[in-house]
Chain A
């Protein structure tokens, strides 16, 4: 195993453990901290694979923006750790079946795909090359995704507007 291989498995282990802890913690703020650690691991994986731009974006967008919003909402709502309760059969059965299918497919892919045997070479994708590649090959997908985001934005704006009208006396609260 090369040094890169060792680093890969260490990172993968950290990501798996952190994500597992994030799912199982009762305290939501702790979950968020573990999830942020997991994102950090993914960012380092991207860097290891020679994509520093993706690594930086992963931290800026996921760890730095989305998780902060989660944290913000949890702090505002003051959610107490929920009491232990058993999920009903209807709740866990579909999740369990779907999860099992994933595990089966993963084992199948790892054991049969010859691609899993070759060692990945480290490449270095510069931001300029990456941008050219993305906007020349996949410009349509990029446009569709941005259109989706625009729709979400308009939806959020609409919800915010409706709320202020019902609130009535909150005149100064327009932001």
Chain B
């Protein structure tokens, strides 16, 4: 009986998180288009519903009813699988993200996280590193030169920035003394880690933008050189899945910044889950703002920034943190 209740709770949690993620992803697209429109002194979508609030629905219906074209010379199976890899990888990361302290319901304590792995942080990296396959294989399987170039660029960029992404979090693990995301949030009971690790935060934020392939790091899909890069040949909902993956990734990195640097769900007055959502939204808006402000990097600048600036800085930061921790005790 106990087992059944646990299982039911898990299914409900999975459902709520999945629906929440998809809804938020849909409205992040609208938010991005509206906000970018304002930054470029135009209105953005405002025809479907009041303030364009039904635009995500209209977009979804459009993509679902469009023809799903597979190019004749494409590698069929890999071509069909690639978008699913990107979307699934992004959604699965949320399994270890805690969005609140535990709540008590009918005398049962329910932790507000799907599963608290003791290697949660490494699980995040394992999945993030698999996202490369969606991009690279999608680009290769399309059998188009634009797609292939986009895929190669994507693979190179993502493995380069994964390195600085991982290294930037080593000081956080040193401070929290745990890989579990729940423990990392608990370790920030007195102060959020952004106060003691501002360098880490900057490196993580920049690397996260590169990992999600957003302007100024959108070389894998640079429109004016590569058509649309790795997803040039995709249409209908398969293109939609790539798109969905990108916006779920935006939330994932927003949530990770909140967990690692902003104290997770903590905040005064409002309930924890609301605070967590606010933090995700603030980070997402920051990333959209950057997109509206900066131009795209050149390829050598991209590699230079990753390997010669961010990685050495992250290594120095690790040494400095270790030094300080050793002195304090």
Q: Which A positions have Cβ atoms within 8 angstroms of B?
A: 27, 29-30, 33, 36, 52-53, 55-57, 59-60, 63-65, 68-69, 71-72, 75-76, 126-127, 172-173, 175
Instruction: Say how far A46's CB is from chain B's closest CB, in angstroms.
Output: 11
| In contact, A56 and B156 (Cβ under 8 angstroms) | no
B122 within 8 Å of A (CB atoms): yes
In the complex, are the beta carbons of B300 and A175 less than 8 A apart? yes
A residues in contact with B158, CB < 8 Å: 68
- Give the Cβ gap from A169 to chain B, nearest Cβ, in Å: 15
Verify if B174 is at the interface (C-beta below 8 Å from A). no
| Interchain CB contact (< 8 A) of A126 among B118, B152, B155, B156 | B118
The answer to whether A36 and B122 touch (CB under 8 A), given A52-B117, A72-B155, A175-B307, is: no
| Contact A68 B78, beta carbon cutoff 8 Å | no
Measured between beta carbons, the chain B residues less than 8 angstroms from A56 are: 119, 122-123, 125-126
Known A68-B136, A75-B148, A127-B119: A63·B130 in contact at CB below 8 Å: yes
9 of the cross-chain contacts (CB-CB < 8 Å) are A56-B119, A59-B129, A64-B129, A64-B162, A71-B133, A76-B152, A127-B179, A173-B300, A175-B304
Say whether B62 faces chain A, with CB atoms less than 8 Å apart.
Answer: no
CB distance from B123 to the nearest CB of A (A): 6
Task: Enumerate B121-148 residues with CB–CB distance to A below 8 Å.
Answer: 122-123, 125-126, 128-130, 132-133, 136-137, 139-140, 148
- Is the CB–CB distance between A29 and B137 below 8 Å? yes
- With contact pairs A68-B159, A76-B152 given, residues A63 and B307 touching in the complex (Cβ less than 8 Å): no
User: How many Å from the CB of B277 to the closest CB on chain A?
Assistant: 28
- Size of chain B's interface in residues, with CB distance under 8 A? 32
Between A and B, how many residue pairs show CB distances below 8 Å? Answer: 79
B78 to chain A, nearest CB (A): 7
Task: Give Cα distance in the complex from A33 to B78, angstroms.
Answer: 9
Q: Which of A27, A29, A52, A64 contacts B118 (CB 8 A)?
A: A52
B residues apposed to A, CB below 8 Å: 75, 78, 117-119, 122-123, 125-126, 128-130, 132-133, 136-137, 139-140, 148, 151-152, 155-156, 158-159, 162, 179, 300, 303-304, 307-308
- Residues in B with CB closer than 8 Å to A71 are 133, 136-137, 140, 155
Q: Most chain-A CB neighbours within 10 Å: which of B122, B126, B133? A: B126
The closest CB in chain A to the CB of B156 belongs to: A72
What are the 6 closest A-B residue pairs judged by CB atoms, nearest first?
Answer: A64-B129, A56-B122, A59-B126, A175-B303, A52-B119, A56-B119
Residue of B nearest to A61 (CB): B129
On whether the beta carbons of A68 and B129 are closer than 8 Å, the reply is: yes
Please determine whether A68 and B137 come into contact, CB atoms closer than 8 angstroms: no
When the two chains form their complex, are residues A60 and B136 in contact, meaning their CB atoms are under 8 A apart?
Answer: no
* Complex interface: chain B residues within 8 A of A29 (CB): 75, 78, 137, 140
A68 — which chain B residues lie within 8 A by C-beta?
A: 129, 132-133, 136, 155, 158-159
